Amino acid sequence: MSALERIDIGTWQRRFLDLDPDEVAGVHYFRHLGPRAFSRYFKPPSSFLGYGFRRLRRLHYDPDPRALRLFSFMLEEGERLFRARQSGMRVVGLMGDYGAVAPLLFAFPDVTAFYPDFCYWTPFLTESEVLLERAERRGLGADTCYVRAAVGAFTSQAYWPEPDLVAASTGASCDDLAAVAQVAFDAGTKMMFLEIPQRKDPAPWLTATRFISVAGQAPRQAGLLERLCEIYRDFFDRAGTALGTPVTEDRVAGSVARFRELRAVIAEIRTLVATAPLCPLPATEELLVQFASTHAYGDPAECRRILDGVLELVRERSERGVGFGREDDVRLYWVNPPPDPLLHVHVERTGARVVGTEYLIASALTPLSEGDPVKSIARAFLTGSLLGSSAARSETIVAGIRETKAEGVVISNLFGSSHCGAETPVIRRAVEEKAGVPVLSFDVPKPAPGEISSQVQNRLAAFLEAIRARRGRCATS
């Protein structure tokens, strides 16, 4: 076993300049447009500093170019959307469905999709309140979680072009995002709403409702899958009308198949990250892999190339027994991992590794079944956390802890996020009782220049120390 070291931003800059220039210049997004000067995206993190991404200075990175390529692909997404529009593509925003709708949408020709939701990373990456201040001026203050940053992006039009369409999920979706969608709608964005039904738990008083059980999944009311399929098909027709483009069944099947393969690659990466003796991919990079499951960062073909490279990297490391940290690092399961990469880096610096996660995009990580593509999407979405109860979510988390052999659970709460406030006690109780592992919960500090708050640092250090002491007691007994 040998340990890899993460590298800082300066080291990456120096190493990047030593890479083969032709190899670097040959990496493009939207390759169907042919190589364009603008579509180069492979660059070191320091190249983003001057454009506001201040947090990058404090991070430490995987030293392999295959992982760096993923990082820069993610950071380049905003520009990619503008370039898509300039190249004649349609740009569609998706909100609150966490990866369900994107595979359907990419069936339309010359369309790219993005999630305004993920703008909640931006205040952390830029260590800035610019977007949050704009949201506050429109009534979404600290009582709404950081997804309110998307308001500031909608109203300035500096982060993505005016979308041709935004499809926003409501109902059993994120209430904060619904608030953002309303503001975007008020600001003139062309919106289409999808009413997502709730997945209920069986209860004695629901005598008029029939429930069905599916192996490995939470029970659900009969007919829910079919209802969701209807909603998606209806959306598909309306989107086709709005975009002025009919689409064939073959294209839908092809797009869903591409995402099926993408999710399979992501699943293998996650499995290796959880099971290798040494962690073969740092937490931030692994999180970026997971987010690719939702919409492939707007370019499924290029995203697949990148993830194939990351999978190859993770396989190589696992086979050779190399990775980050130490074999005795504390194995953590992270609920609601925050959009602050510095926090991930800090956890790893403190002697822990992240072996599993559970949060709102979890349904996008569920494998897509073969067969009817719409039903496949709907079936995967029904495994998600947000449309069901806190109890069902807790069960998913407990199963994940067992599967990954996690020794402790971290629940990070985002200020203003109602599901965080309501669910944390429920999850904590379920984890402690059913999985028998300790839980640490804390509020994610507000995005600001500087290191992680000393309070969070102290609490994490104490938590990890307690887990190590627990190991000793278990060994003795």
Partner 1 sequence: MRDELTGNRIIRDEMTPLERFSLLLIDEQPDRVLTVPLVTAHAATAAGLRPGDCVRDGALMARAQIEAQELYGHDAYTLFSDVGILAEAMGSTYHHAPDAIPILDRPVVRDLADLARLRVPELSAGRLPVYLEATEILHRSRGDRIPVFCFVPAPFTTAAALRGVEDFLVDTITDPDLADQLLLAAERAAVPLLDELVLRGALPVLVDPLASASVASPATYRRYALPGTKRLIDRLHRLDLDVTLHVCGEVAPILEDLAATGADLLSFDQVPIAAARESIGDRVRLVGNVSPQILLRGDREEIRAVTAAAVREGTRNPKGFVLSTGCELPIRTAKESVLAFMEAAQRGPAAMEGRPPGDRAGSPAASCRICERREDSERQYYRECPHDHPGSGPRIPNDEGRPAQ
Binding site for partner 1 (CB under 8 A): 9-10, 13-14, 16-17, 21, 24, 38, 40, 43-44, 46-47, 49-52, 54, 57, 79, 82-83, 86, 126-128, 130, 134, 137, 152, 155-159, 161, 186-188, 449
Closest CA to 117 of 89, 146, 82, 75: 146
Q: How far is the CB of 328 from partner 1 (least distance, A)?
A: 34
Q: How many CB atoms lie within 10 A of CB 13?
A: 16
Beta-bridge mates of residue 220 = 212
Q: How far is the CB of 49 from partner 1 (least distance, A)?
A: 4
Q: How many CA atoms lie within 13 A of 452 on its CB side?
A: 22
State which residue, 6 or 83, has the beta carbon closest to partner 1: 83
The DSSP-derived string for 217-231 is: S--EETTHHHHHHHH
State which residue, 188 or 425, has the beta carbon closest to partner 1: 188
State which residue, 186 or 316, has the beta carbon closest to partner 1: 186
Closest CA to 145 of 300, 355, 359, 323: 359
| Cα 39 to Cα 42: distance, rounded to the nearest angstrom | 9
State which residue, 26 or 109, has the beta carbon closest to partner 1: 26
State which residue, 161 or 197, has the beta carbon closest to partner 1: 161
State which residue, 43 or 260, has the beta carbon closest to partner 1: 43
Phi and psi torsions of 214, nearest 5°: -125, 135
- Kind of pairing between the strands at 211-212 and 220-221: antiparallel
Alpha helices in 321-360 (DSSP H): 341-349
State which residue, 16 or 114, has the beta carbon closest to partner 1: 16
Q: How far is the CB of 16 from partner 1 (least distance, A)?
A: 7
DSSP element (H, E) containing 458: helix 454-476
Q: How far is the CB of 186 from partner 1 (least distance, A)?
A: 7
SS (H, E, C) 395-430: HHHHHHHHHHCCCEEEEEECCCCHHHHHHHHHHHHH
Q: How far is the CB of 119 from partner 1 (least distance, A)?
A: 13
Q: How far is the CB of 41 from partner 1 (least distance, A)?
A: 8
Q: How far is the CB of 179 from partner 1 (least distance, A)?
A: 17
